[in-house]
Structure 1
Amino acid sequence: MATSLKELMYGPMHAGRLDWIGLRPARRETLQSVATASVEIGGGLVGDHYTGPLDGKRMVSMIQAEHLTAVAGILGLARVTPLMTRRNLVVSGLNLLALKGRQFTIGDALFEFTGPCAPCSRMDENLGPGGFQAMRGHGGIIARVLRAGTIKVGDAVVVLDVAQHLSNSATLRLFDDS
């Protein structure tokens, strides 16, 4: 049994599931739903227009499937789709904000939580008036790619435990040229 808040924060988490993958071929283009995607270090999802610097924080954006229902309820809509939120990945069964300070795998790719994904002004365009406000606190997270790989819809989202996280961080530092 955990005895401190820190132990609770880094305690075990159940795996989630990757429900949807979306790629934007160009800025302001509609996302394209795909079943499989390649993930590159320094580039995020292959085929997505966004490619950040190697040390960038926003390589992949993620949202919880459960939050799509919440945003729809806030706006009085029957449904909010992943396309409307402009996030790359939709995950269910896992509290994404609980990934703060953690690493996780999807398929054979390794990711690291880098921050919350704040809504942008496009939310009012995509969701209607009030879309930006409805997405506040429900925008998901952004993540950095630490190991390239392939992800596919249905893959488990597995959170590394603290021992794995520390071991993996030490390994990554061994190969860091800086």
Structure 2
Amino acid sequence: MPFPNFGDDKSVVNRLLSTLPQVGRLEWIGVRPKRREPLRALPEVEVLPDAHLAGDHARIKPGGKRQVTLIQHEHLAAVAGFLGLPEPVAPGRLRRNLVVSGLNLLALKNRRIRLGDEVVLEITGECHPCSRMEDELGPGGYNAMRGHGGLTARIVQGGRIRVGDAVRVESSGEA
């Protein structure tokens, strides 16, 4: 049976794009107290609406698209594999604030997700690697991160999040 051409049927593509019943898990939280310092792992953090994570050095303008950065937990092993490392890369080395497992984060671009009971983030775009990945991961670090750099998000609704919290895709119209 040939593979159907979904490009001609926008309703089918829209239905497929909206089908994300999985529930993810918040695996790690990190903040940088000062610029260029290592991230500090936290068991929980206050998420400040339309701003940043409490304790993070970033001071974001309201409405900014890069208030929080996220990376997929499953990509920690992939990046390590590209570098020939025997163990997954430690989350703090990749300089992202939140590590989420169980959801394909790239499928969430332009969608909203809920972390725990309170926090809502709007996924705004990809978080491409920077040249610092060469310093942190060694030669090839930048290229190992390409396609695995994670996403950026805007904080729609603040509150407290904890490692282990559920991460759910918000239905259209929710927030």
The alignment's TM-score, normalised by the length of structure 1, stands at: 0.89
Do residues 134 (structure 1) and 144 (structure 2) align?
A: yes
CA displacement, residues 108-166 of structure 1 (integer Å, 9 cap, x when unaligned): 101000001000111001110010011000001011000011000000001012xxx32
Give the secondary structure class of the aligned counterpart of 1:101.
coil
Do residues 122 (structure 1) and 122 (structure 2) align?
A: no
Task: Give 1:27's aligned residue.
Answer: 35
Task: Give 2:173's aligned residue.
Answer: 166
Give the secondary structure class of the aligned counterpart of 1:166.
coil
| Count of matched residue positions in the alignment of Structure 1 and Structure 2 | 164
Aligned-partner residue type, residue 54 of structure 2: V
Q: CA RMSD in A?
A: 1.3
Aligned-partner residue type, residue 35 of structure 2: R
The alignment's TM-score, normalised by the length of structure 2, stands at: 0.90
CA-CA distance at 1:47 after TM superposition = 0.4
Give the secondary structure class of the aligned counterpart of 1:45.
coil
Superposition pairs of residues 18-57 of structure 1, within 5 angstroms:
18-57=26-65
Aligned-partner residue type, residue 132 of structure 2: R
Determine what percentage of the aligned residue pairs are the same residue: 52
Task: Give 1:143's aligned residue.
Answer: 153
Task: Give 1:75's aligned residue.
Answer: 83
Work out whether residues 16 and 157 of structure 1, in 8 Å CA contact, stay in contact via their aligned partners in 2.
yes
Structure 1's unaligned 5+ residue stretches are 169-178
Question: Following superposition, which runs of at least 4 residues in structure 1 exceed 3 angstroms of deviation?
Answer: none
Choose which of 103, 107, 110 in structure 2 pairs with 1:98: 107
Q: Quick one: distance in 2 between partners of 1:68 and 1:13?
A: 23
